[in-house]
Chain A
């Protein structure tokens, strides 16, 4: 339904997992470097997602035959 949000959530989960693993202290140097790189790029991608996001607002009504009809809603925010 909302791919950007799903990606954001997955990135945050993975990021926290990485930080926990690294802080646990039993990761070898080479693996730590790999995790560090992955973690840093996740931080950047999450930041980018938030920066570039724009709230999408629509209005839902029941159309003919009951299927949902969705139109943009302009609410002069």
Chain B
């Protein structure tokens, strides 16, 4: 006889079987919602169906609050969860932990396709990207005039670089009209040269919300803009086609404002630094100048003319004493010669001869007697001696034979 089991046993058995199955413990199911009902408890009950089958589903409140859309009958979804048994009903069902609209898959595919296409055309080339001006005079913001994005950007610009002028180009940032409006704003700004830099962007949202910035026409308009463009879309992990084409990508609108301008505080520091460098350099130049001046002024030429003159005077003295010495020597020599010559002359002087006993005999008229022939006895004569004169008269004349004649 077959073993009999209770209903509970059977359901428990089936539950155990399903709970042990790896595939069924985490499964993603694609289907259309039907029989949808939201209970006061906050739990969602519905059926997922396709052409041939149906699967009962439940999503408890704790998981449902994360839903990014409102589930409705007919919505095509992908539901994640676990298949298990609800013993009370003897039914198995999908305990759903997360659910998303099935269109997402298509969006992702479209994004990848467009990205590849435009990349191949060269729209993302870094060589084409323009430099963001260092000190932008006028910044154009292309975004919604309401919402946090514009407020955040203006606040940051005011704080960092109030020297800039800001022009807002208000546009829709989601919906079918949005890409067209943003393109028009970019073209308009270019046509009338209304900015040195454009920031285009919006705050965070779902992939559908941000889809505007994946528009192909917008990508081409960004590429052709003469004015540099910063793309500032969504949150940090959100990446759109605009981000690839733009001249600079910002993670968020706030980041866009930060990248657009220098920071005033940093500029103040930079100015301080420059002033310091000026100060240091001029001090160095002055110090070098002073050193040179000191070196020159301590050279002997510059110790005042006194020193110079004293030196020259010393030289002069030296020369003078040498000259005197030479002079003296010369003079002495000459004196000696002179004196000896004078002495010789003196010895030969006729007056000197007189002292030796010779005398000079003259007639009255002063004629000197050389010979006896000039004399007549009885003539008055003068005899000159060394120290005086004798008056005499000749008594007798006598000739003497002389061997030596003058």
Contact = CB atoms under 8 A, between A and B. Distances in A.
Contacts of B39: none
B162 A62 contact: no
Give chain A's interface residue range (CB within 8 Å of chain B).
35 or more
A32 B167 contact: no
Contacts of B189: 60
B170 A53 contact: no
B378 interface: no
B135 interface: yes
A77 B145 contact: no
Nearest to B289: A29
A47 B271 contact: yes
Contacts of B158: 55, 77
A43 B278 CA distance: 10
Residue of A4, A16, A77 with most partner-chain B CB within 10 A: A77
Interface in B260-311: 264, 267-268, 271, 274-275, 277-278, 281-282, 285-286, 289
Interface stretch (B8-16, B71-79, B148-156, B349-357): B148-156
B360 interface: no
A42 B40 CA distance: 72
A31 to B, nearest CB: 10
Interface in A16-59: 16, 18-19, 22-23, 27, 29, 32-33, 36, 39-40, 43, 46-47, 49-50, 53-59
A41 B275 CA distance: 10
A19 B166 contact: no
B217 to A, nearest CB: 19
B65 interface: no
Interface size class of B (residues with CB under 8 A): 35 or more
Contacts of A55: 154, 157-158, 161-162, 164, 166
A16 B274 contact: yes
A50 to B, nearest CB: 6
A2 B192 CA distance: 15
B282 A33 contact: yes
A58 B164 CA distance: 12
A19 B135 CA distance: 20
A32 B268 contact: no
B122 interface: no
Contacts of B154: 55, 57, 75, 77
Contacts of A65: none
Interface string B176-209: 0000000000001100101010000000000000
Contacts of B165: 1-2, 5, 56-58
B169 interface: yes
Nearest to A16: B274
A75 B137 CA distance: 20
A32 B289 CA distance: 11
A75 B141 CA distance: 13
Contacts of B164: 2, 5, 55
Contacts of A36: 278, 281-282
Interface of B: 134-138, 140, 145, 150-151, 154-155, 157-158, 161-170, 188-189, 192, 194, 196, 264, 267-268, 271, 274-275, 277-278, 281-282, 285-286, 289
Given A19-B278, A39-B275, A60-B189, 17 more contacts: A5-B164, A6-B137, A8-B163, A18-B278, A19-B274, A22-B282, A23-B281, A40-B275, A43-B278, A46-B267, A46-B271, A50-B264, A55-B157, A55-B166, A60-B194, A73-B145, A77-B155
28 contacts: A1-B138, A2-B138, A5-B164, A6-B137, A8-B135, A19-B281, A22-B277, A23-B277, A33-B282, A36-B281, A40-B275, A43-B278, A50-B162, A50-B267, A53-B163, A55-B166, A57-B166, A57-B168, A58-B165, A59-B145, A60-B167, A60-B189, A62-B188, A68-B192, A70-B167, A73-B166, A75-B154, A76-B151
